[in-house]
Amino acid sequence: MFEQISFFESAEKLHTSLTKGRYLLLVADQTDIAPLATLPDDIAFVGAVFPRVIYRHHTYDTGIIVAKMSDSTLSCIVPMDNTTQLKLPEETNAVLTFIDGYSIHTDRFLEVLYAQLPEQARILGAGAGKMTLDPASYLLFDNTQRYTNYAIVVASKQSVGLGIKHGWTTVMGPFIATHCSGHTLEKINFQDAYSVYRSIVEKISDIPFDQTPFFTIAQRFPLGIVRYNKDFIIREPFSTNGQSLTLNAQIDANSVISILEGKADAIIEAAREAAVASLHVKTQAHSNALLIDCISRYLLLKERYGEELEAITSVYDSAIPLWGVLSLGEIANANQEGIEFYNNTCVIGTL
């Protein structure tokens, strides 16, 4: 899929380092990408902006990860509400997708993408976005322009091993999401969702709601959608109007949910388990490991986030580079049942 993975501190440094070819660029939030417009015409690229990027044992809010695509790798950038131009080759074994993390078309886009996915293929990806949570941001780009409400799709014959873990545990539930609309959870057990959420979190913690930003609270206590004989799908509230909760992804009415809590040791161990799981799928010799990790995990772990990266890299040979992004939503299909859009989850693809 990729011939080489590199990290550059700024876009200016790409001018003297890149040779003719096609590239995937993963860009940290604070990076000036204007210099990319003056790259030579024989350097083609698609790229996306994220809160931070990951390279080996560190994360960066400024810098660019550059992945040179092999000749056999397909890449395109498509509108999320119109994927008619997207055609995956039948021999595709691995797909990467980087989407506009603020798009209202995420669920439909993933449904269409899954319908095209060959039976043997595995997919992983991330929601692009900035720490400002500005839905008007132009988060994706190529040689010609910047895009909003688009998705990058990269497809390859190469196989990928997947690991998906989160580490959050139930502290209260189950409940019923009795009224929902898109990304908005209006009622829990027929009561205002915010009132129910606040009363429970205040009961089990010492957090002063009136003095703490709501997003900070939700990072530690997200919601989990209960699934039969499977792990939770986490949905993180990021804002409230005092009655309903606005989530980072869609939730269906009458979903069974629980309130979860994240503790550092369990979150770090889950990341290590995801790395181990990514090695269980038979692939050719491993060349690199791609980490899609939720920005909320980073914000919750704070100075201990380095321990998560150490736990992941301990699983791999030292010659295998770890690279990736801190994302606004994580994408993967662990089995043949469909593609999931996760929050607060660690997704690792071993290539």
Q: Does the pLDDT value for residue 110 go beyond 80? A: yes
Cα–Cα nearest to 294, from 58, 129, 65: 129
The predicted structure's pLDDT at residue 336: 61
What 3-state DSSP class applies to 275? Answer: helix
Spatial contact of 74 and 94, defined as CB atoms under 8 Å apart: no
**For 4-19, what is the HEC assignment?**
EEEEECCHHHHCCCCC
Residue % of the chain over a pLDDT of 90 = 77
Share of the chain above pLDDT 70, in %: 96
Q: Is the pLDDT assigned to residue 283 strictly greater than 80?
A: no
In angstroms, rounded to a whole number, what is the distance separating the alpha carbons of residues 341 and 109? 11
Q: How far apart are CA 5 and CA 11, in angstroms?
A: 15
Cα separation of 28 and 316, whole Å? 25
Is it the case that residue 38 has pLDDT exceeding 60?
A: yes
Give yes or no for residue 138 having a pLDDT over 80.
no
Per-residue pLDDT at 332: 95
**pLDDT level of residue 106 (50, 70, 90 thresholds):** very high
pLDDT at 74 over 80: yes
Question: What is the tens place of the pLDDT at every residue in 197-246?
Answer: 999 999 999 899 989 999 899 999 999 999 887 888 999 998 999 999 99
What would the mean pLDDT of 253-264 be, rounded to a whole number? 95
